[in-house]
């Protein structure tokens, strides 16, 4: 079986006939291209963070405080990037994190479907957002043989919450990820400066407008009055009163693996596992929700230690293959990316997302090869050294 890093040789061979890659090869070039391609309001929403974005930037910088320790003569001719997760095997440790405006990062408004198709083509699972431009059933229908997860923003209407979870299970999603750090909206100066919030304009609400429980709340069908539906959505989105006592109810809604996203404190992680939660998702929402906190990577080792063998998914600040390797070595079971693939979508649709994933997988693979770590699932803290600030 070919190594993911072998993809680079095709690029070099194409170069002999004057052909260069159609998309950028680095994150910073990708971001510049995406900014040029996206409308200002969408770029602000995707690229921006909370407050002065210190936490967003700290998430990225945290990876620089760790270095991979090279090991020689480790027999890394063939690398195995596969991981085990919830009793199954995935070909790589990568996942596509949920993004609430993914649908409109595509000029034609079907970014969720393009991401699902890229997921099917690459074997990298997608975590589909509640806030999608196409209904969850249509998105799930594009996954093929690649598993997909559904991310739930818990509404303050319990009947609607149950409907979403039941629909996700019936649609074929293989896990439900409950996001806990967006029970109310964070302070986002970039969006405030533009007075722009896409969902209030009716974007990315397809899971609501296609739901019978939500539709029953509307005086007029959303096909006739989308702005009115957006107003009703604003009244049900988020549940600031959600607490530990609600976990039993959430757990009872589905037999699928249930994960909690936004867990960063080890005590919270232990309490979640004690409550019957199947997995932890360590994340600071990419720095989009609360400013002034710790980088997610700093929290990861304590969360992993607290939960033992329970899977821990990680995101926030991942920009490169070595970032993924470092997160795995610090105990993550799988690593999700957000902004990089959203930018790939904006500049190249499905092909742009696949390009970003190929770049990341090649760099993960080559980092492991050159530094002497043949198997992703065997990465541990021994592979890293602390560099410091």
Residues identified as active-site = 285
Structural contact between residues 328 and 379, judged by C-beta atoms closer than 8 angstroms: yes
Nearest one of 138, 164, 170, 140 to 152, comparing CA atoms: 164
Dihedral, CA of residue 30, residue 178, residue 45 and residue 212, to nearest 10 = 120
Structural contact between residues 315 and 338, judged by C-beta atoms closer than 8 angstroms: yes
Report the chain's terminal Cα–Cα distance, integer Å.
40
The span from the CA of 68 to the CA of 13, in Å, is 30
On the CB side of 213, CA atoms within 13 Å amount to 17
The span from the CA of 225 to the CA of 209, in Å, is 11
Nearest one of 365, 366, 337 to 353, comparing CA atoms: 337
For residue 263, report the phi and psi dihedrals to the nearest 5 degrees: -75, 125
For residue 239, give the 3-state DSSP assignment. coil
The span from the CA of 31 to the CA of 336, in Å, is 18
Q: SS3 breakdown of the chain: % helix, strand, coil, rounded to 5?
A: 50, 10, 40
> Which are the contacts of 215, defined by CB distance < 8 A and separation ≥ 6?
209, 221, 222
Could you tell me which residues are beta bridge partners of residue 351? none
């Amino acid at each position: 079986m070919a190594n993911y890093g072998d993809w680079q040789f095709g690029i070099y061979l194409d170069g002999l006939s004057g052909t260069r890659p159609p998309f950028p090869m680095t994150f910073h070039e990708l971001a510049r291209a995406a900014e040029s391609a996206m409308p200002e309001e969408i770029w602000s929403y995707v690229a921006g963070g909370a407050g002065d974005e210190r936490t967003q930037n700290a998430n990225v910088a945290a990876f620089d405080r760790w270095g991979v320790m090279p090991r020689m003569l480790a027999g890394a001719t063939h690398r195995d990037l596969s991981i085990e997760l919830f009793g199954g095997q995935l070909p790589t440790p990568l996942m596509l994190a949920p993004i609430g405006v993914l649908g409109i990062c595509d000029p034609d408004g079907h970014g969720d479907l393009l991401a699902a198709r890229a997921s099917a083509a690459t074997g990298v699972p997608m975590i589909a957002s509640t806030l999608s431009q196409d209904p969850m059933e249509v998105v799930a229908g594009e996954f093929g043989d690649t598993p997909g997860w559904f991310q739930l923003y818990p509404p303050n209407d319990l009947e609607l919450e149950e409907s979403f979870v039941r629909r996700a299970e019936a649609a074929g999603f293989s896990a439900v990820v409950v996001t806990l750090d967006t029970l109310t909206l964070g302070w986002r100066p970039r969006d405030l400066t533009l007075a722009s919030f896409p969902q209030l304009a009716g974007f990315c609400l397809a899971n609501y407008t296609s739901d019978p429980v939500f539709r029953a709340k509307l005086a007029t069908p959303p096909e006739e009055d989308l702005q009115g539906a957006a107003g009703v959505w604003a009244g049900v989105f988020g549940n600031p009163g959600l607490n530990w006592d609600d976990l039993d109810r959430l757990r009872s809604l589905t037999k699928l693996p249930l994960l909690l996203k936004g867990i960063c404190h080890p005590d919270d992680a232990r309490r979640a596992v004690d409550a019957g939660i199947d997995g932890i998702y360590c994340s600071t929402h990419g720095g989009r929700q609360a400013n002034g906190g710790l980088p997610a990577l700093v929290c990861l080792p304590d969360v992993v230690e607290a939960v033992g063998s329970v899977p821990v998914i990680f995101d926030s600040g991942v920009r490169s293959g070595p970032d993924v390797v470092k997160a795995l070595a610090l105990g993550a079971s799988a690593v999700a990316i957000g902004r990089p693939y959203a930018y790939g979508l904006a500049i190249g649709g499905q092909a742009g997302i696949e390009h970003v994933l190929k770049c990341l997988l090649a760099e993960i693979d080559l980092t492991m090869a050159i530094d002497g770590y043949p198997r992703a699932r065997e990465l541990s803290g021994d592979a890293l050294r602390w560099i410091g600030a």
